[in-house]
Amino acid sequence: MIAINWSKILPVVVSIFIIIAIAILRNYSKTLSAIVAVMPMNIPLGMWIIYAGAEDKQKELVEFNQALFINIIPTLIFMLVVWQLSKAGYSLIQTIVGGYIVWGIAMGVVLLVKHFL
């Protein structure tokens, strides 16, 4: 019998359900579809994977959650940039590309700061 590796399959299944939920909800409420879009779905999955594979579960979970907290900063900056670019009238592609460029720079800064501290 083939063993199913749920740690690899579950994130894909959850992502598909999120995309479907956003597509349905956008017809009813922009706010609700935005809430679903930013729900912390991958964070609990990541925590579960780290926890399941760790010897010192509490220590690994604390370190992982600390890294999550620090690494969310570039994502918040991404959201701010795409909001401002869309308000300025840029196209979807320009907005996404611009957001990812700024996200990459912000992530680089976070990594440099972590390296030197």
d(CA 107, CA 40): 19
pLDDT score at 2: 78
d(CA 35, CA 54): 32
Pick from 40, 48, 25: which is nearest to 75 by CA? 40
Mean pLDDT rounded to a whole number for the chain: 89
pLDDT score at 91: 98
pLDDT score at 109: 97
Minimum mean pLDDT range among 24-28, 33-37, 112-116: 33-37
Number of neighbours of residue 81 by Cβ within 10 angstroms: 18
What are 71's two structure tokens?
């690494």
CA angle 21, 31, 69 (to 5 degrees): 85
